[in-house]
Every structure is written in C-alpha cells, then in structure tokens.
Structure 1
Amino acid sequence: MQSSSTEFTNLQPGDQARVKGFGPMPEYYRNRLLSMGLTPGTEFTVMRQAPLGDPVQIMVRGFRLSLRRAEAGTLQVEVL
C-alpha cells in the first residue's frame, strides 16, 4: 500500500495518518503537541469532527484527543 502526504485539513473521519513533522507554528504550541504524544512517526485515526468542522477528534496512542482544526492544520501528515 502506498502512502501519500497531505494537509491535516484534508483528512476525514475514518482516515488514518502518520505525523511527518510540523509546519510554522509558535514554539509553545509545538511543545504542547509533542507533550500530547503527536511526535513525528506517530500514527493516528481521525475519529470525528464537530458539525461546523471544529474541533476534530483523533485517536492517538490509545486516547482520544480534540484539536482545533486551524492548529492541527500545522501538522504535516502522511495518509496511510
């Protein structure tokens, strides 16, 4: 199976992806994402999104995490 890179904002519920890295963002927010387990190489599944698209809930390392779509959009991801 071949994987492809995309922006987090293109992912839909049920999609699986891997964190490749981080785009431009404040250092404090990057550190926050890292402390929540979103490190490069980590796989996650998009579980659901709110009716207006924000926030987005993902399953990462066995727990559910809700992220604002704009902030999650700074993640560089690879679709699995």
Structure 2
Amino acid sequence: MNKIVRTYLRELPVGAIGYIVGYDKIFKGYQGKLLAMGLTPGTQFIVIRQASKYWPIILEVRGNLIKLTQPEADALCIEEED
C-alpha cells in the first residue's frame, strides 16, 4: 500500500504522481476553471514540468497535458503518492 502525503503542487518534483483532493477556499475563483479542465477530486496526475519564472506547471492528466499558472496550481489541494 502506498503512503499518501498532502503537499502543494509547486513542491512536487518532475515525475511525481499525485491526486487532487479538493480546492483551497482562498482561491475559490479558480474552482470552475479547474473543474472545466478535468481537475476533479480523485483525479490522478503526473508532474511533467515544474514552474519557473517564465514557465507554468504542466501536468499529465488522463493522457492529456494541462498547463497551470501558479495561482491555479495553488488553488488545488493535492496528495502525493509516495
């Protein structure tokens, strides 16, 4: 059985696998956009590229690549699969 650890998306290394567990209430304005992107609770993702000064975070979700800005990524409550 894998151990689950709650963390922020920006703290995960490239190649990390995680699950979306919800949305941060502070960033509630992003919830509709994230839902429309398919980032629903229970969804598994893989970190493809981490954010830098000029690049967004890129996730692989259900075989698709999704690009997230830093505020969008901070709106997600996630758990990392260890």
Q: Do Structure 1 and Structure 2 share a fold, with TM-score over 0.5?
A: yes
Offset, 1:11: 1.1
Percent of aligned positions with the same letter in both sequences?
Answer: 35
Q: Structure 1 pair 46/53, CA: closer, same or farther in 2 (3 Å)?
A: farther
* RMSD (Å) for aligned C-alpha atoms: 1.6
- TM-score, with normalisation over the residues of structure 2? 0.85
Q: Which runs of 5+ in 2 are unaligned?
A: none
Which SS does the other structure have where 1:38 is aligned?
coil
Structure-1 separation of matches of 2:71 and 2:13: 15
Any runs of at least 4 consecutive aligned residues in structure 1 with deviations exceeding 2 A, and if so which? 49-54
Q: Which runs of 5+ in 1 are unaligned?
A: none
Offset, 1:51: 4.5
Greater helix fraction, Structure 1 or Structure 2: 2
Q: Which residue of 1 aligns with 2:61?
A: 60
Offset, 1:3: 1.0
- TM-score, with normalisation over the residues of structure 1? 0.87
Structure-2 separation of matches of 1:47 and 1:14: 6
